Amino acid sequence: MKTTLATFASAAALLAGLALTGLSPAAAEPVKVGMITTLSGGGASLGIDVRDGFQLALKQAGRDDIELIVEDDARKPDLAVQLSDKLIQSDKVDVMTGIIWSNLAMAVVPGAVAQGKIYLSPNAGPSALAGAGCNENYFNVAWQNDNLHEGMGAYASSAGFEKSFILAPNYPAGQDALTGFKRFFKGEIASEVYTKLGQTDYAAEIAEIRASGADNVFFFLPGGMGIAFMKQYAGAGVDIPLLGPAFSFDQGILQAVGDAALGVKNTSQWSKDLDNETNKAFVESFSAEYDRLPSLYASQGFDTANLLISAMEAASISDPDAFRAALKAANFSSTRGDFEFGPNNHPIQDIHVREVIKEGDVFTNKLVGVALEDHSDAYAADCKM
């Protein structure tokens, strides 16, 4: 699918933005963006939210100098690599973005940045790309994979939990998830279980949980995996409290799970009730545009587009060093409030604790605290940029 976004924002809004940068409309050199994301099959809702958030930011900024080419990877690494080759060799894109899943990121990103393409990750943040495998052309606008799980490990300890059963799919993000949780959880691990990616039957794992003696269950199961697990867990009548990252309690997942999720604590770098003007406007405009509440994935897509726009207003894409410096400056208003990049081009940001609630007929999350402040990642010291 190929989408060229025309000017939608008012002239006054555009001129106001230009006044802040001191640039004229002609100063920004056109940029072609290739977005590979998951729009069909398992996890499609995640990619749809990233795409919609990204497109909303372009629409609001009135960018007719950004050509966006969107491709569906169907969560298949081989297909993602083929699409990457097409975007780089045939479409001649300048910037790439969009990948949701870490195994697809590991298949695509190293080759793309090696060919001089800027990659802006709106989601996947595998540890291999944060440490020794970091690259000056790779910027993660979401988080390093461990971060939200580290936050839940810290929260679980502060909440007095002592013995945790931990569960995640067996792929890079799942491995990073359990590593992150264990890094900050000070109690005992009752059992550490890796499931198949895309698994939907968790009867065996729930039986293990019941017999484990754990006083909490930490799980990372994004998309449809989380829906299946939560429904089966509730149906099994297990009364051990659940904890997880926002990926397992995303806006879309909550509507499918329903009452079983109420009261569950989860960690996120974003929430719809974060109290800053950019976030308030984003939640309102996304809801009006798409007739649904935004998820953290939508917020990440929105922030990624606004980061790109901020760099285009400060430097030309044809000057790689200046453009990278403009990206590194992160001179944009984030839905998260304060935002900066660490030395490995990954965010330094607060990790919040949320609780699942019901507002009218809609299941959603509310902020209840901060798990980690100004948090970086454990791999930055290994990055030698």
pLDDT, residue 223, reads 82
What DSSP string runs through 91-132? S--SEEE----HHHHHHHHHHHHHTT-EEEESS---GGGTTT
pLDDT on residue 10 = 34
Closest alpha carbon to 7 in 28, 38, 22: 28
Contact status, residue 333 vs residue 280, Cβ threshold 8 Å: no
Mean pLDDT, each 10-residue run in order, the chain (385 residues): 38 37 54 98 92 98 95 97 98 98 97 98 97 97 97 98 97 94 98 96 98 97 90 94 93 88 96 97 98 96 98 96 98 96 97 96 95 96 93
pTM for the structure as a whole: 0.89
Q: What is the pLDDT of residue 28?
A: 65
Q: Which residues, 6 or more positions from 50, have their beta carbon under 8 angstroms from its beta carbon?
A: 37, 98, 100, 122, 123, 297, 298, 300, 301, 304
pLDDT tens for each residue of 154-195 = 999 999 999 999 999 999 999 999 999 999 999 999 999 999
Instruction: Say whether 301 sits in a helix, a strand or coil.
Output: helix
Predicted pLDDT at 11:
33
> Which pLDDT does position 250 carry in this prediction?
87
